[in-house]
């Protein structure tokens, strides 16, 4: 009889941790809970009726072929349409520069698998996306955080960190950046900051992983260029997903980069899932062919703009003095900073009792800081839920301030 599986686990298996955000979602089954926790799109943006028709069309037109295995690189039509779409937007690429993945989270895993050895360094924002931090750490990487200011990752600190690590004989593989409406901070890097980071990566011969799930979910302001478009050296790998602009349940994303980099990712993907669902890819391609993606995305952006603005209005109305927050021009999140002596993890326990949930910001800091911060999602809840939830949370924070 096996008393413990620990003797069989690899070092990676022993070091695995559950996602703090996934664990929080367990609380959301509680009746009356208002959740600002997960990065969930609004269900009312999902085009159920259109998809019913398209599924029938695919089965009628392609029949058994749509249910067969597909190529690892992805459905040729979907790849072609995505390439053409990027070309219209200003990023000049060919089909050899784009592959399909099972959402961008798989792309993060594949990049870690291909490029990271135990002990290698990845430079990321303080704070940064938990899914990226966990994917890199799983393969033994060391995460070094770079402070964010109002324009994102600070170039001077980034370069100084690279110099120090290299002097210590450490190997830095890449810089991980979420340049548009960053998760969790909501900050967007201006073009000038993007160019500076690319310049530093070129100077020290590093790759850049540009995670771009939110760039098309812009409510206001001037769109910035993708770092991939600004790059002239081929060192930027860019990740996209349909999860935030269409439907997360499809689990489809894509990666843009140099062909030799994508070739390695394809090899890694072949050991993971052979291919992303060909049936789902055909559905998405047909949806795009009909012009429905752009039409539905516009409605989604309008809805999220309204909910973001309403949450900010509620913050201004209900939050106690000393609490600050970001006001992003797009994306799905606000990032809240509490007075330094408060602990968001402790506030979370009390907020759950009051039926309101968020994600404590410390989850997004690779250096175990940020304990007085929290991330709130505004896309999932309706305006009445947003107002009630902000009131509940504000009262919990006020009570905590009074008790301290």
Would you kindly state where each structural domain of the chain is located, as residue ranges?
8-46+294-403, 68-290
240 membership: H or E segment, kind and range = strand 236-241
What's the whole-model pTM score? 0.95
- Give the pLDDT confidence score for residue 5 in this predicted structure: 84
Q: How many CB atoms are located within 10 Å of the residue 19 CB? A: 12
Question: CA-CA distance, 101 to 241, in Å (whole number)?
Answer: 9
The answer to whether the CB of 388 falls within 8 A of the CB of 34 is yes
Calculate the alpha carbon distances from 122 to 180, 228, 244 in Å: 19, 19, 25
Instruction: Give the dihedral sign, CA 329/332/337/338.
Output: positive
Calculate the alpha carbon distances from 242 to 105, 177, 255, 313 in Å: 11, 19, 12, 29
Question: CA-CA distance, 245 to 82, in Å (whole number)?
Answer: 13
- Give the pLDDT confidence score for residue 404 in this predicted structure: 67
Question: CA-CA distance, 112 to 136, in Å (whole number)?
Answer: 5
Question: CA-CA distance, 186 to 242, in Å (whole number)?
Answer: 19
Phi then psi for 246, rounded to 5 degrees?
Answer: -145, -85
- Give the pLDDT confidence score for residue 27 in this predicted structure: 66
Question: CA-CA distance, 10 to 85, in Å (whole number)?
Answer: 43
- Give the pLDDT confidence score for residue 120 in this predicted structure: 98
Structure-block tokens of residue 303? 């809805």
The answer to whether the CB of 282 falls within 8 A of the CB of 56 is no
Question: CA-CA distance, 347 to 336, in Å (whole number)?
Answer: 13
Give the single-character DSSP code of 330: B
Burial of 134 (0-12, 13-18, 19+ CB in 10 A): buried
Structure-block tokens of residue 159? 């370069």
Question: CA-CA distance, 193 to 134, in Å (whole number)?
Answer: 26
Q: How many CA atoms lie within 13 A of 22 on its CB side?
A: 6
Question: CA-CA distance, 5 to 14, in Å (whole number)?
Answer: 10
Residues of the chain falling short of pLDDT 50: none
Question: CA-CA distance, 265 to 237, in Å (whole number)?
Answer: 11
Q: Does domain 68-290 have CATH number 3.40.50.300?
A: no
Query: Where would I find the beta strands (DSSP E) of 132-171?
Result: 142-149, 152-153
Work out the widest C-alpha separation in the chain, in whole angstroms: 66
Question: CA-CA distance, 308 to 383, in Å (whole number)?
Answer: 9
Q: Does domain 8-46+294-403 have CATH number 3.90.1150.10?
A: yes
Please determine whether the domains at 8-46+294-403 and 68-290 fall in the same fold group of CATH: no
- Give the pLDDT confidence score for residue 374 in this predicted structure: 98
CA 250 to chain CA centroid, nearest Å = 16
């Amino acid at each position: 009889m096996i008393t413990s599986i620990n003797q069989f686990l690899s070092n990676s298996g022993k070091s695995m941790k559950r996602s703090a955000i996934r664990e929080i979602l367990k609380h959301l089954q509680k009746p009356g809970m208002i959740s600002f926790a997960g990065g969930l799109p609004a269900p009312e943006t999902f085009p159920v009726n259109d998809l019913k028709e398209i599924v029938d069309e695919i089965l009628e037109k392609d029949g058994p072929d749509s249910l067969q295995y597909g190529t690892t690189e992805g459905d040729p039509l979907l790849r072609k349409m995505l390439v053409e779409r990027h070309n219209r937007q200003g990023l000049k690429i060919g089909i050899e520069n784009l592959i399909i993945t099972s959402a961008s989270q798989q792309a993060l895993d594949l990049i870690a698998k291909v490029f990271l050895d135990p002990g290698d360094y990845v430079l990321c924002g303080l704070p940064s996306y938990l899914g990226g931090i966990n994917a890199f750490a799983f393969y033994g990487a060391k995460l070094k955080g770079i402070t964010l200011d109002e324009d994102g990752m600070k170039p001077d600190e980034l370069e100084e960190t690279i110099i120090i690590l290299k002097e210590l004989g450490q190997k830095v593989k890449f810089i991980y950046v979420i340049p548009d409406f960053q998760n969790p901070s909501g900050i967007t890097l201006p073009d000038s900051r993007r160019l500076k980071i690319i310049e530093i990566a070129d100077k020290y011969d590093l790759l850049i992983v540009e995670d771009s799930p939110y760039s098309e979910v812009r409510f206001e302001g001037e769109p910035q260029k993708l770092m991939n478009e600004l790059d002239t050296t081929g060192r930027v790998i860019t990740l996209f997903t349909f999860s935030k602009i269409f439907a997360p349940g499809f689990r489809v994303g894509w990666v843009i980069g140099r062909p030799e980099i994508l070739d390695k990712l394809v090899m890694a993907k072949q050991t993971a899932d052979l291919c992303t669902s060909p049936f789902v890819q055909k559905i998405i391609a047909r949806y795009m062919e009909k012009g429905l993606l752009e039409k539905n995305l516009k409605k989604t952006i309008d809805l999220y703009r309204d909910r973001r603005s309403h949450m900010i209005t509620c913050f201004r109305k209900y939050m106690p003095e000393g609490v600050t927050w970001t006001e992003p021009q797009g994306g799905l999140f606000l990032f809240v900073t509490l007075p330094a002596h408060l602990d968001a993890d402790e506030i979370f326990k009390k907020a759950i009792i009051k039926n309101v949930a968020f994600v404590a910001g410390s989850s997004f800091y690779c250096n175990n800081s940020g304990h007085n911060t929290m991330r709130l999602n505004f896309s999932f809840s309706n305006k009445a839920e947003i107002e009630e939830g902000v009131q509940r949370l504000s009262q919990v924070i006020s009570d905590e301030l009074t008790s301290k």
